[in-house]
Amino acid sequence: MTSWKGFPMATTQNSARASRTQADEPTPEAILDVRDVAPPKRHPLIFGTYESLGPNQRFVLVNDHDPKPLFYQFHAEHTGEFSWEYLEQGPKTWRIRIGKRKSSAERTPLPTAR
């Protein structure tokens, strides 16, 4: 288990590792569970975690609600620089893989309504 600014973060291996070349291979993903973090501290913690990523690295955010407003904040502040992939969508837990792209040429589409 590793930590960022005193918050525990678990790591997990990426299941798609075998299909990538070594140069494109991301590091193991950190898990950032913010369900027990006070709401005013969540976005700074999440953006701090994102800023600490290198190109082609990512982490999995675990939240107690759909963080769609967070997506729009990412889109406004980091257009084309991040990836966003829902892994689990409620009703009690949301898991989203957030990554830092190698280049801003790779675009992140806006989420569609379910």
Measuring CA to CA, which residue among 40, 52, 39, 38 is closest to residue 5? 52
Q: Minimum mean pLDDT among 8-17, 56-65, 75-84, 102-111: which range?
A: 8-17
Residue 79 near residue 71 (C-beta atoms within 8 A)? no
Structural domains of the chain, with CATH: 2-100 (3.30.110.40)
Give me the mean pLDDT over the 15-44 stretch: 70
Residue 8 predicted with pLDDT over 70 = no
pLDDT reported for residue 80: 92
Q: Which amino acid does the sequence have at 33?
A: D
* pLDDT confidence tier of residue 29, bands split at 50, 70 and 90: confident
The per-residue pLDDT for range 37-82, each reduced to its tens digit, is 999 999 999 999 999 999 999 999 999 999 999 999 999 999 999 9
Under DSSP, the state recorded for 66 is -
Mean of all residue pLDDT scores within the chain: 78
User: Quick one: tokens of 1?
Assistant: 């288990």
